Structure 1
Amino acid sequence: MNTEQLKVFDQARNEMGVATREEVHKKGYWHEVFHCWFVSGDNLILQLRSELKKENPLLFDITAAGHLLAAETIEDGVREVKEELGVNLTFDELQPLGIIDYCSIQGDYIDNEIAHVFSYKCHLEIDELILQKEEVAGIVKVDFNDFRELWTGIKDVIRVAGYEIKADGSKHVIDKLVGREQFVPHPAGYYETIIEKIEKEIK
Structure 2
Amino acid sequence: MDELIDILDAHGKLTGKTAMKSDAHKNGWFHQTVHIWFYTPNGQILMQQRSKNKDVFPLLWDVSVAGHIGASESILTSVIREVQEEIGLTISPPDLEKIGIYKSFKNHSRTLKDYEFHHTFIAELKSPFSALQKQKSEVKDLKLESLNQFSKAICNTTTYNYVPHDNSYYKTILKEISKRIYSS
RMSD: 1.6
Higher relative contact order (CA 8 A, sep 6+): 2
Among candidates 80, 83, 91, match of residue 82 of structure 2? 80
Cα deviations by residue, 1:4-52 (Å, 9 ceiling, x for unpaired): 1111111112222111101111111111101110101201010111122
Alpha-carbon spacing, 1:187–1:105, altered in 2? closer, same or farther (3 Å): farther
More strand, by proportion:
1
* Ranges in structure 1 where 5+ consecutive residues have no aligned partner: 158-178
- Cα distance between partner residues in 1 of 2:20 and 2:166: 24
Give 2:14's aligned residue: 15
- Cα distance between partner residues in 1 of 2:21 and 2:119: 18
Equivalence map 1:48-63=2 (5 Å): 48-63=49-64
More helix, by proportion:
2
* Ranges in structure 2 where 5+ consecutive residues have no aligned partner: none
Cα deviations by residue, 1:142-197 (Å, 9 ceiling, x for unpaired): 1102212333x3x558xxxxxxxxxxxxxxxxxxxxx32x1112222322222222
Give 1:197's aligned residue: 176
Give 1:32's aligned residue: 32
- Cα distance between partner residues in 2 of 1:47 and 1:195: 16
Number of aligned residue pairs: give it. Answer: 178
Give 1:167's aligned residue: none
Give 1:95's aligned residue: 97
Query: Structure 1 length normalisation: TM-score?
Result: 0.81
What SS is found at the alignment partner of 2:153?
Answer: helix
Query: Structure 2 length normalisation: TM-score?
Result: 0.89
Q: Which AA in structure 2 matches 1:113? A: E
